[in-house]
Every structure is written in structure tokens, then in C-alpha cells.
């Protein structure tokens, strides 16, 4: 479970920090080390085996959703009661 938590934390950091995201895509090992993560060989393999194009597309989609008010045009989460 701890291994999955480490990878989830890295994914969360990549979502929140565009600079870290780019470093992670360019050099996952260096990015993880710079951020203070001590990953197992299996975790590092998982990061290195990521499909970079698919990740970039996913990040771009999420960025677009966030700038449109989270869920799309016309949606306003502030109207929840």
C-alpha cells in the first residue's frame, strides 16, 4: 500500500506543479529524487514506463477542466447548497 501511496503523492504533485510535471515527464528518476521521494525499483520502473504522450494529454485535459470551472462550461460548483 505504501508504494501506491508514494506514486499517488507524486501524481498529485505533478497535477499541482507544472514544473515538477515537466521534470517528471523528462526525467522521472531525477524529478522523484529532487522532490525527496525514495522509490523502490518497482516504483521507479512504473514511472519510467509511463506513456508520456498519454500523460501529457491527461494533464492537458485536467488543466482545461479546471480552467472551465472544474466540470465544464456552465457548471458552477459555488451554487451547491
pLDDT tens string 30-61: 999 999 988 899 989 988 888 888 888 888 88
Count of domains for the chain: 2
Considering the domain architecture, whether residues 77 and 61 belong to the same structural domain is answered as yes
Task: Give the pLDDT confidence score for residue 12 in this predicted structure.
Answer: 87
Task: Give the pLDDT confidence score for residue 1 in this predicted structure.
Answer: 41
pTM over 0.85: no
Considering the domain architecture, whether residues 41 and 55 belong to the same structural domain is answered as no
Mean pLDDT rounded to a whole number for the chain:
80
Considering the domain architecture, whether residues 46 and 7 belong to the same structural domain is answered as yes
Q: Tell me the residue range of the domain where 20 lies.
A: 1-50
CA–CA distance from 22 to each of 7, 32, 49 (Å)?
16, 12, 16
- The gap from C-alpha 48 to its chain's centroid, in whole angstroms, comes to 14
Which residues does 68 contact at the CB level (< 8 Å), separation at least 6?
75
Considering the domain architecture, whether residues 10 and 44 belong to the same structural domain is answered as yes
For 80, the 3-state DSSP assignment is: coil
Considering the domain architecture, whether residues 4 and 35 belong to the same structural domain is answered as yes
Q: At what angle do helices 52-67 and 2-16 cross, to 10 degrees?
A: 60
Q: Residue ranges of the alpha helices (H) in the chain?
A: 2-16, 18-26, 28-34, 41-48, 52-67
- The gap from C-alpha 43 to its chain's centroid, in whole angstroms, comes to 15
Amino acid at each position: 500500500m505504501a508504494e501506491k501511496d508514494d506514486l499517488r503523492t507524486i501524481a498529485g504533485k505533478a497535477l499541482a506543479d507544472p514544473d515538477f510535471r515537466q521534470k517528471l515527464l523528462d526525467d522521472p528518476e531525477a524529478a522523484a529524487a529532487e522532490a525527496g521521494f525514495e522509490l523502490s525499483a518497482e516504483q521507479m520502473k512504473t514511472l519510467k514506463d509511463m506513456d508520456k504522450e498519454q500523460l501529457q494529454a491527461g494533464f492537458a485535459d485536467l488543466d482545461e477542466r479546471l480552467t472551465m470551472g472544474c466540470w465544464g462550461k456552465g457548471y458552477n460548483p459555488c451554487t451547491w447548497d
